[in-house]
Chain A
């Protein structure tokens, strides 16, 4: 079967750095996405990785290792507005997205 694993919940301090991990087992791989979802809102796109390595976009970076079936999202200089759920999704061989259950990130002052 296909599986995306990520921690259910994480807590971090404002101004700090946090790393949210995602491991996956899917039938084929055509890219990995990270989305942010604030409570009661729709998911919004953060990053896309298809090749191994680090993609940096401002305070957010995403890393991919295809051989390990592993990705992480790194958030720097945390702000209170970063409190949200972070969703990892993998595009499989049918070009459909398989979604993890999401990681709820709680930022404390």
Chain B
């Protein structure tokens, strides 16, 4: 693979269920990010990781958790999904110092 992959592409989830969105990059970028994108709003940062083993909270972290066990993978977990978490989720990598952020194809999540 080249770049960033995300899985699943889309998912419909019942409220209260646990869900993990997967993200893998093969560009050896130290930094990785999770954003959500909602109609009429800009991309909002959920969590980030500047390097393997470290994570930080973004603008909208509540209800989400992340881990960064290695350089390539950065999963996002919704412990107990709620309808307000219906959104398109983008994973990105790169972006430290002057580096550009590169985005995965996104996961469209619907919570009913």
Contact = CB atoms under 8 A, between A and B. Distances in A.
Interface of A: 4, 31, 33, 41-45, 48, 50, 87, 89, 91, 95-102
Interface in B25-47: 40-45
Contact of A102 (B42, B98, B102): B42
A41 B42 CA distance: 15
A43 B88 CA distance: 12
Contacts of B97: 95
Interface string B101-112: 111111000000
- Summarize B's interface: helix, strand, loop or mixed: loop
Given A41-B105, A42-B104, 12 more contacts: A4-B42, A31-B98, A43-B43, A87-B43, A89-B42, A91-B95, A95-B96, A95-B97, A96-B45, A97-B43, A99-B42, A99-B43
B103 A48 contact: no
A44 B103 contact: yes
A39 B43 CA distance: 14
B100 interface: yes
